[in-house]
Structure formats: structure tokens, C-alpha cells
Chains A and B, each alone.
Chain A
């Protein structure tokens, strides 16, 4: 990852964390100051979706051209995306405990996100259960496409078809004037961009580590 992208990410993160805690926000009932969770909780999910999208793109590229580099990128993007999802889930549950009265209320958005993450967990189980590199790459790439296709309705469509407690769900588009005003957008969008950049950064480190691992395995194999 280019150094200037890292610097942009850092500067945006500092701005987002200072502004997110200090700048003025709409005064709303029940939400009170927890409206600021938007700056820290929602970017986790946007980050997860972006990283899963990158993962599925590399899976499709792997199916077109079975280059082991694509397989590495696909799995590591999914790994980082999963970490973002766990953070999104935990921050959401902490917030829900005070906004909805309990950390888990079986809300369609919560259930959908949980099922989507389980579908992705199965991706890692599938990879772990196959020894042959080519077979693992091909089968998991096909499964990854299914997992991404399953995530979209689980997170974006089903919560809007039923009545969800989650802001931005229940028939409303996510970005309407009641959820987000212009002051909040000035922090919310940079927050999304900066966390996506951090996700790419972590992924690039993990891809390099995996490359080293594979090379060492090759060296060991070559000796025998």
C-alpha cells in the first residue's frame, strides 16, 4: 500500500475521532449522545462490505486465471472483513443495550448480519478442510461468490422488508434527512474512507505474510 494513502488514512482518522467526539450533533430523544456511534460503528460495516467485495472480486479473478496471488488476496480480504464485522457487531450490541434495552433483541438487521457472518465463517471452514492448493482455491472461490450473494439480501434487503428497530431500516433508505444531517456527513464519510483504507492496509500486510509463508513452504518442499 502506498505511503500517501496511509498518511491520508491517519489524518482522516485523527480528524474523525476528534470531530466525532466534539462536534455538534442533532439533539434527538433516546439517542442523545449515542448518535455519535454512527461515526464509529457504521464505518465498521461499510469496511466489512467493501473488504468482502474486494474478496469476491479476487475470487472471480482466481476462477478466470488460477493465479495463487489472487487466492491469497481473496482469503485475506475476507479475513480482515470478518474482523471489521466482529467489531461492528460488538459496538452495535453495546449501543443496542442502551438504545433498545438489550444487546440482542432479534432485530432483522442484527439477525441478518449474524447469519451473513456465519456464512462467511463457513468460507474459512471450507478452506481449512482442503489440503490441495488448487482445489482449495477453486472451491473456496466458488463458495465466496455464494457468500457475497447471500450477504447482500441479509444485510440490505430483508431488514427493510420487515420492521426493524435499526436506524435506516424499516422501509427507509439508509441516508435520509432524519438519520443524517449535513454536519454529520462531514465526519461520517471521512470515517468510512479512513477505515476502508485501514482495512486495505491490514490486508496488504496479511497478504505479504501469507506470501512469505507459502514461499517457506515451497523451500521446505523443494528440499525433500
Chain B
């Protein structure tokens, strides 16, 4: 009898521990949101890379337009 009560009590505390509410969105559904985050970081990196390239090319174009003879 004692052991039954004890085991019920322990299982209840374990259950209670599992019920503690935490900000677990990132850990739900097999942590798929973490993958979403990773993919979005890669995407953001790629896009900012394109913008940086754009800036660099703009700079080169300006540099060249100053060097070119004014005939064009």
C-alpha cells in the first residue's frame, strides 16, 4: 500500500514538473522551428551579401566614370 502511494506521488510530481509552462515554442514539433531559424539566417546572409555586392559594384562604377574620358 505504501509503495503504491509513493509511486503515485512521484508520478504526480513528475507530471507536475512536465506541466511547468515555459517558452518552449522553439522546442515543439521536433524542433522544426530551429530549422526554420537556420534557413532564415542563411537566406538573410545571402540577401545581405547581394546588397553588399551591389554597393561595391556601384563604387567601382563611380570610380570608373571619373576615370573615363568625358566623350561618353
Contacts and interface: CB of A to CB of B under 8 A. Distances in A.
Pair from one complex:
yes
Interface size class of B (residues with CB under 8 A): 10 to 19
Contact of B32 (A22, A208, A209): A22
Contact of A13 (B32, B33, B43, B53): B43
A17 interface: yes
A118 interface: no
A76 B59 CA distance: 21
B20 to A, nearest CB: 26
A208 B68 CA distance: 16
A202 interface: yes
B67 A219 contact: yes
Contacts of A215: 64, 68
Interface in B1-55: 32-33, 35-36, 39-40, 43, 47, 50, 53-54
Contacts of A18: 36, 40
B43 A202 contact: no
B12 to A, nearest CB: 35
A216 B36 contact: no
A72 B71 CA distance: 22
A205 B50 contact: yes
Contacts of A21: 32, 35-36, 39
13 contacts: A21-B39, A22-B32, A22-B33, A22-B36, A198-B50, A202-B50, A205-B50, A205-B57, A208-B57, A212-B61, A212-B64, A216-B64, A219-B67
Interface of B: 32-33, 35-36, 39-40, 43, 47, 50, 53-54, 57, 60-61, 64, 67-69
Counting from the closest, the 10 A-B pairs by CB-CB distance are A208-B57, A17-B39, A21-B36, A212-B60, A205-B53, A215-B64, A10-B47, A212-B64, A18-B36, A13-B43
